[in-house]
């Protein structure tokens, strides 16, 4: 019984599409990350880049990327900029995201009638032949499922040898006029889904009376049973049906790809296929066996007509790309060539490398000097105003494809690479998808690197734009934005417009481009972080910086270090659960009992602010509120001078006014307002007292209410008093308050003012559209309800306000949507005094700019930061400190974009968030770029250094061989690619490469481990050494071989001024073995190692002469991919492979022997495996290639195990993400505050398993007791029945594996609990938390508590990983 929890969401983008989704005029981007669906809106801003005489586009792109990651625009500008160039920049702003119970395989846009938002609908294709049609519901501010279609029925005929639906390449294509959608699933099945449309708009717009004769009648593309007016249709679609491709044409036995084409009156699609299977080994017999055919689809008769066919195409064609009206026809993509086919069947092609001549006889123009590889490339148009197309190669390089057009037909094609100086280096790895998001803007998604928004422009267009901007320079940024909007806001719909103006522009562009090649310049706009694929992982105890005097008693926990990215995007990523701030230089002051601290920036006048630069000015005053020995509060103001503080002596506070509650600025930052318990005082720029505004009635004898919190939004101040009343103060143009305060009717717990400068939440619009009016909103939390952000039992609940349309009105209604937040705060230590743990008067504080992020800080005994970037939802992070009494923003010379806070001792600390850290994943992630693909990773704790196994791509040349004399006769310029490995030593503090070791040609690293090995046979001394396993990639004609390397990290003399270079790699042993070295592990108690080499597993010992002595072995008859030993040198070992499954073995030292104990009962294609001990029971978890976790148990006493020879299969759980590693996490040591265990509680804490995936997500598998399993199972069932199922998908069915693994059954009681559902327990209203949970929280087990408190603790530990990291 276990619980599977996804710690971080997937980050690798698999699919994307651009469409008007939120409204008819919106420009949205929908991104799919395996099972995560995200909806973005596009925001155009003006960014400033460095331009010191010679602007460099690469530097500009890098700076914009930093600004976009931190969510900053102009405020991120460097103060050293002498001249800034203003560039229009497109940013991604996350609107909503949804975790689906399914794996997304395709996305498509569909125009439907009468959608709720007025925009288009989205068709989502999922694994196992499912289609979901969704639209945007503006009233609920969420997606709404229109329909779901299943095609995984048993009545669909298939051959017994055909693969399962989940193993087939399934994809979706939609007719450009949205008349129908075709979903190809299985081997050769098509599911056709018709849509109701008023008429064929594309054909009617394309009607030419001179060419087409009499205008035909409009025809509705639906079945005969649905010929009524489409406005009365209950659904936007008609009944779908399934056809076999063989029914359309018997020759379509091996379909390769299909897509709908443009400019046809009926739905028409092109199919790339072959009648026999293609094979490079049979190239002499099946050379040009691919054909392309165009079929007209009749939805009424459910039949098709062949329009044209092109045969004898090269065997390596793989994709069909339809072209727009400006060019027409279709592009056929192959690995070595590109072929264009027009509507008449005329073809033109180009060969892009030397292999095209050898692999086909098809007529192609020779451009083999390009030396391109087109496998997995993507192609997109560069707009409607020219005929060039952008090709994105699998290595991230860009190329331009141009057409030479004579009249209305294409006469030839030409291709050229994009110049490296034109900024295309932003792509570090190959793409997975691409979408046009506006004129001159692309979104390029990747599963191997960050996804980016890439902008392009032509140089002569840029010069024209610069001249236009220079003419209206005095207009400011808003004019620039408007000009850019006119050029950029033409979304993908413009590609379908057929008006005369666009036709004329296209014709002019064709004539221009045919005479000259235009240089394109590319620029990075924005990016989405991707930490996948994670190919290796390790755990490291977080090290405390020597200069960090903050958290001497803070629990730092563990760090997860993973290998991320591929190709040039290779890097290592360090994940931390809690925020560990970096302390900056502290002020030399000693004030005891500090209760509050505020930093302020006083401006002399508003005129200077208006004419000054847009940079953020440094704070110049520090306001401190502290308690004296008598318990009275004293307020002190310090002037900040560089890194020193100077106290202002003539500033005094009336102690009768009470404690200081809040400090803020009004009147454009020129007036300081101090809110105390019973009055508000204002001061001028020199801290001279300007006004005292009382908040109580002095003539009353009764006790007056006191202020408990305050909020500022110039010129308003909102104060909340302890009698639950709210008062609003308004300042005039001089910064003076009105005589009478306005009291808000009702009882309120807290409140906040928000200045909506962008009118995102404006609900009322003035009658005069030219009138400028502010939009300051007041959010109040009443006694009976919740709003925006609130704190109940230390839970942080986040609400997102949005505008819901009012029918027939211009105004809107303001509504709130609860944002999922799985964070559960830490429980404060019980040993501290209650007086020290007093909750601050105002628990939530806003930090407008912390390292470029906007944050909300919750103070108190469980402090936390709420951080949101533009491309992610709000994320909640615990603060590594113990108690946060007061906090405020701070921006000084020594602490830029930081914050100031006081701890439980009342000490003032200046701190910053960790630099180069990203918070989009819900964990603090820091990436260290390596620049090469990293395959393996290990950590040497004694030397505090990482050892990386990297590889770069090099040209492969056949080696000299006596048995293959013909190899020397090979003469080829376009060489194949192979990998060259190397070992790098990375410093653990500076994260810089300090040493490297190059391997032999074409030798790659398969595994790296840090093991404690015996280095002396006489003294039996042991040392931590680096063991590396390698393999040679030399082709199938030569036998496989590998090496075992053993390195020691030694201390050397560092380089001058580089003290971190005082370590180096020293080779101790190197041994060549037959077969590849695929896995390494420690074994036994004598300091030996186990090596999986070739088809054997061998135990070896290191001798003093540098050789490796084998002492025991086991024949595996296959290549082993996983070798793991049970911790604590037990000698119990598991081995796993992709052919036979899991082997459970034991190692004996007297005599040396490897013995097989048990094997898996059925075939498992194992990718990763590890032990999962649970008390006295021993489980083995295997992750297979179908994204399943299979739980096996070794129990020799069970009758079905045949005395242990067969491992018992307990359950199978579908994760939906391709696994890469499984790592057993040792139990965390008890904290100093944990009481010693009693004799009755001798059970060892559970060992959870950490799972990493290729999609960039982290997951945790935690053992459960019977009572915990019952509790979480009941909670899971309650959540499944309560919360909505997005896209109409079933979360129960999603976790059940498909194919053969589903029929293996479940042995024993209980299965795996879905922790992702359990964490959504608090997503609904509080009245839903216990609505169906009979028995939930009862019998939680020892140490968990009862009721709601017990459930919180259990969910935090099991589903949230609390206490593990």
Mean pLDDT by 10 residues, the chain (1365 residues): 91 96 94 96 77 40 41 36 65 94 94 91 92 94 93 70 77 93 90 83 44 47 42 78 89 93 91 89 85 92 90 94 88 95 92 91 92 93 83 92 87 87 74 92 94 84 54 40 38 39 45 51 92 93 53 61 94 91 73 83 64 66 82 82 78 66 88 88 85 76 80 89 88 82 82 78 57 69 58 60 75 76 62 47 81 86 87 88 82 87 81 87 92 94 94 87 72 87 94 94 94 88 94 83 95 92 94 93 91 92 90 90 86 91 90 90 92 89 93 88 87 93 77 44 70 94 88 86 89 79 49 87 61 48 60 77 70
Q: Are the beta carbons of 1158 and 1205 closer than 8 angstroms?
A: yes
CA dihedral (1003, 1007, 1010, 1012) in degrees, to 10, reads -100
Residues 774, 764: Cα–Cα separation, whole Å: 11
Instruction: Give me the pLDDT at residue 5, please.
Output: 92
Q: Are the beta carbons of 1098 and 1063 closer than 8 angstroms?
A: no
Residues 1090, 1113: Cα–Cα separation, whole Å: 9
What residues contact 19, with CB distance under 8 A and at least 6 apart?
28, 30, 109, 119, 120, 122, 492
Instruction: Give me the pLDDT at residue 461, please.
Output: 62
Instruction: Give me the pLDDT at residue 652, please.
Output: 61
SS3 per residue for 453-498: EEEEEEHHHHHHHHHHHHHCHHHCHHHHHHHHHHHHCCCHHHHHCC
DSSP 208: -
Residues 711, 752: Cα–Cα separation, whole Å: 5
Instruction: Give me the pLDDT at residue 133, please.
Output: 96
What residues contact 1145, with CB distance under 8 A and at least 6 apart?
1097, 1114, 1132, 1133, 1134, 1135, 1154, 1155, 1156, 1157
DSSP letter string, 121-188: EEEEEETTTEEEEEEEETTTTEEEEEEEEE---TTS---TTSPPGGGS--EEEE-TTSSEEEEEETTT
Distances (CA, A) of 375 to 378, 392, 1181: 9, 10, 36
Q: 């990998």: which residue's tokens?
A: 979
On the CB side of 621, CA atoms within 13 Å amount to: 23
DSSP letter string, 662-710: EEEEETTTTEEEEEESSEEEEE-TT--EEEEEESS-TT--SPPP-EEEE
CA-angle at 1096, arms to 1091 and 1101, nearest 5°: 35
Q: 């290191």: which residue's tokens?
A: 1102
Cα 528 to chain centroid, rounded: 6
| Helix, strand, coil abundance in the chain, percent, nearest 5 | 15, 40, 45
Q: Are the beta carbons of 497 and 384 closer than 8 angstroms?
A: yes
Q: Model-level pTM?
A: 0.87
> Strands 2-6 and 1312-1314: what pairing?
parallel
> Strands 748-755 and 537-541: what pairing?
unpaired
Q: What's the count of helices (H) and strands (E) in the chain, helices before strands?
A: 13, 84
At 589, give phi and psi (nearest 5°).
-135, 155
Burial of 516 (0-12, 13-18, 19+ CB in 10 A): exposed
Q: Are the beta carbons of 1087 and 1075 closer than 8 angstroms?
A: no
Q: Are the beta carbons of 336 and 351 closer than 8 angstroms?
A: yes
Q: Which helix (H) or strand (E) holds 69?
A: helix 57-69
Classify 31 as helix, strand or coil.
Answer: strand
CB count in 10 Å sphere of residue 1116: 17
Q: Can you give the length of the chain in residues? A: 1365
Residue 148 bridge partners (DSSP): 132
């Amino acid at each position: 019984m276990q619980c599977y929890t996804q710690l971080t969401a997937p980050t690798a983008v698999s699919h994307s599409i651009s469409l008007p989704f939120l409204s008819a005029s919106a420009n949205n981007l929908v991104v799919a990350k395996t099972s995560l669906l995200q909806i973005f809106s596009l925001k155009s801003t003006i960014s400033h880049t460095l331009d010191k005489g010679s602007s460099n586009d690469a530097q500009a792109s890098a700076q914009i990327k930093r600004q976009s990651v931190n969510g900053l625009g102009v405020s991120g500008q460097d103060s050293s900029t002498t001249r800034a160039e203003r560039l229009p920049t497109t940013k991604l702003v996350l609107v909503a995201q949804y975790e689906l119970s399914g794996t997304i395989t395709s996305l498509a846009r569909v125009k439907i009638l009468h959608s709720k938002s007025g925009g288009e609908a989205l068709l989502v294709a999922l694994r196992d032949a499912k289609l979901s049609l969704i639209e945007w519901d503006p009233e609920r501010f969420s997606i709404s499922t229109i329909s779901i279609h299943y095609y995984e029925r048993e009545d669909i005929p298939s051959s017994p040898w055909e693969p399962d639906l989940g193993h087939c390449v399934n994809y979706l294509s939609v007719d450009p006029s949205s008349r129908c959608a075709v979903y190809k699933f299985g081997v050769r099945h098509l599911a056709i889904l018709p849509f109701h449309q008023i008429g064929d708009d594309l054909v009617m717009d394309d009607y030419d009376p001179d060419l087409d004769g009499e205008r035909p009648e409009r025809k509705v593309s639906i079945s005969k049973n649905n010929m009524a007016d489409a406005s009365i249709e209950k659904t936007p679609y008609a009944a779908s049906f399934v056809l076999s491709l063989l029914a359309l044409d018997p020759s379509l036995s091996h379909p390769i790809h299909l897509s709908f084409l443009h400019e046809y009156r009926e739905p028409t699609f092109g199919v790339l296929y072959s009648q026999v299977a293609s094979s490079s080994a049979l190239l002499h017999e099946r050379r040009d066996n691919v054909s392309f055919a165009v079929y007209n689809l009749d939805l009424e008769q459910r039949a098709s007509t062949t329009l044209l066919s092109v045969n004898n195409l090269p065997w390596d064609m793989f994709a069909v790309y339809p072209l727009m009206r400006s060019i027409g026809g279709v592009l056929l993509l192959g690995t070595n060539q590109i072929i264009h086919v027009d509507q008449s069947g005329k073809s033109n092609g180009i060969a892009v490398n030397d292999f095209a001549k050898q692999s086909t006889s098809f007529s192609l123009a020779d451009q083999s000097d390009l030396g391109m590889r087109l496998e997995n490339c993507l192609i997109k148009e560069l707009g409607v105003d020219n005929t060039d197309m952008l090709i994105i190669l699998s290595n991230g390089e860009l190329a331009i494809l141009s057409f030479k057009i004579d009249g209305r037909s294409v006469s030839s094609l030409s291709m050229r690479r994009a110049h490296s100086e034109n900024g295309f280096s932003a792509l570090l790895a190959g793409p997975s998808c691409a979408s046009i998001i506006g004129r001159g803007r692309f979104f390029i998604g990747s599963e191997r690197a960050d996804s980016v928004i890439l902008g392009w422009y032509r140089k002569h267009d840029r010069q024209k734009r610069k001249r236009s901007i220079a003419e209206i320079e005095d207009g400011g940024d808003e004019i620039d934005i408007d000009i850019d909007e006119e050029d950029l806001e033409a979304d993908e719909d413009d590609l379908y417009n057929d008006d005369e103006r666009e036709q004329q522009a296209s014709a002019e562009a064709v004539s221009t481009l045919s005479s000259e090649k235009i240089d394109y310049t590319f620029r990075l706009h924005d990016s989405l972080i991707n930490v996948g694929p994670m190919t290796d992982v390790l755990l490291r105890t977080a090290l405390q910086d020597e200069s960090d005097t903050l958290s001497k008693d803070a629990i730092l926990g563990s760090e997860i270090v993973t290998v991320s990215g591929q190709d040039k995007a290779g890097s290592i990523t360090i994940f931390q659960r809690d925020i560990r701030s970096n302390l900056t230089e502290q002020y030399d002051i000693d004030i005891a009992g500090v209760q509050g601290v505020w930093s302020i920036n006083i401006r002399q006048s508003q005129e200077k602010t208006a004419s000054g630069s847009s940079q953020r000015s440094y704070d110049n005053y520090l306001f401190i509120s502290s308690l004296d020995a008598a318990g009275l509060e004293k307020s002190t103001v310090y002037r900040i001078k560089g890194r020193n503080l100077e106290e202002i002596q003539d500033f005094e506070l009336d102690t009768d006014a009470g404690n200081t509650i809040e400090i803020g600025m009004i009147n454009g930052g020129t007036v300081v307002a101090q809110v105390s318990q019973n009055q508000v005082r204002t001061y001028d720029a020199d801290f001279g007292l300007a006004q005292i505004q009382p908040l109580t009635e002095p003539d009353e004898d009764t006790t007056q209410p006191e202020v408990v919190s305050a909020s500022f939004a110039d010129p308003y101040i909102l104060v909340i008093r302890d009698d639950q009343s709210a008062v609003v103060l308004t300042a005039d143009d001089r910064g003076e308050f009105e005589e009478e305060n306005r009291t808000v009717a009702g009882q309120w717990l807290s409140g906040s003012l928000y200045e909506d400068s962008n009118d995102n939440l404006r609900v009322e619009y003035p009658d005069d559209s030219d009138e400028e009016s502010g939009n300051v909103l007041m959010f109040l939390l009443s006694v009976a309800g919740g709003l925006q952000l609130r704190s109940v039992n230390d839970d942080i609940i986040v609400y997102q306000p949005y505008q819901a349309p009012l029918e027939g009105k211009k105004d809107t209604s303001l509504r709130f949507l609860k944002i999922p937040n799985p964070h559960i705060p830490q429980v404060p230590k019980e040993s501290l005094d209650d007086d020290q743990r007093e909750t601050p008067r105002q628990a939530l504080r806003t930090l407008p700019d912390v390292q470029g992020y906007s944050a909300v800080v919750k103070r108190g005994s469980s402090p936390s930061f709420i951080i949101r970037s533009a491309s992610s939802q709000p994320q909640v992070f615990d603060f590594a400190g113990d108690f946060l009494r007061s906090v405020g923003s701070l921006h000084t010379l020594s602490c830029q974009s930081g914050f100031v806070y006081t701890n439980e001792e009342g000490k003032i600390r200046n701190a910053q968030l960790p630099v180069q850290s990203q918070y989009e994943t819900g964990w603090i992630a820091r990436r260290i770029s390596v620049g090469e693909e990293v395959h393996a990773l290990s950590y040497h704790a004694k030397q505090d250094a990482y050892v990386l196994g990297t590889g770069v791509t090099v040209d492969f040349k056949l080696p000299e061989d006596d048995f293959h004399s013909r190899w020397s006769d090979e003469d080829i310029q376009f060489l194949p690619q192979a990998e060259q490995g190397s070992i790098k030593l990375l410093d653990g503090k500076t994260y810089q490469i300090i040493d490297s070791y190059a391997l032999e040609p074409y030798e790659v690293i398969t595994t790296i481990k840090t093991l404690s090995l015996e280095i002396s046979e006489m003294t039996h001394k042991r040392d931590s050494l680096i063991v590396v396993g390698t393999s040679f990639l030399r082709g199938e004609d030569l036998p496989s071989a590998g090496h075992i390397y053993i390195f020691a990290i030694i201390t050397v003399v560092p380089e001058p001024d580089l003290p971190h270079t005082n370590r180096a790699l020293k080779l101790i042993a190197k041994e060549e073995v037959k077969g590849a070295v695929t896995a390494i592990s420690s074994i036994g108690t004598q300091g030996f190692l186990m090596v999986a080499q070739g088809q054997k597993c061998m135990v070896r010992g290191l001798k003093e002469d540098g050789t490796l002595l084998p002492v025991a072995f086991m024949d595996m008859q296959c290549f082993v991919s996983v070798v793991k030993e049970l911790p604590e040198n037990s000698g119990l070992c598991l081995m796993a492979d992709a052919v036979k499954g899991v082997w459970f073995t034991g190692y004996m030292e007297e005599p040396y022997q490897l013995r097989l104990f048990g094997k898996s009962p059925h075939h498992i294609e194992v990718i990763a495996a590890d032990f999962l001990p649970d008390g006295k029971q021993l489980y083995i978890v295997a992750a297979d290639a179908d994204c399943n976790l299979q739980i096996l148990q070794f129990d020799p006493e069970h009758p079905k195990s045949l005395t242990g020879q067969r491992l018992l299969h307990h359950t199978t759980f579908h994760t939906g993400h391709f696994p890469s590693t499984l790592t057993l996490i040792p139990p965390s040591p008890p904290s100093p505050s944990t009481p010693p265990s009693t004799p009755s509680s001798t059970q060892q804490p559970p060992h959870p398993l950490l799972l990493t995936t290729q999609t960039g997500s982290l997951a945790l598998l935690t053992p459960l007791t019977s009572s915990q399993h019952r509790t979480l199972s009941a909670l899971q069932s309650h959540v499944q029945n309560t919360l909505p199922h997005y896209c109409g998908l079933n979360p129960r069915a999603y976790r059940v594996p498909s194919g053969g693994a589903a029929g293996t059954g479940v042995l024993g009681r209980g299965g795996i609990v879905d922790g992702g559902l359990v964490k959504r327990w608090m997503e609904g209203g509080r009245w839903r938390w216990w609505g169906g949970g009979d028995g939930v929280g009862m019998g939680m087990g020892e140490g968990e508590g009862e009721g709601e408190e017990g459930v919180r603790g259990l969910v935090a530990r099991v589903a949230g990983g609390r206490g593990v990291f």
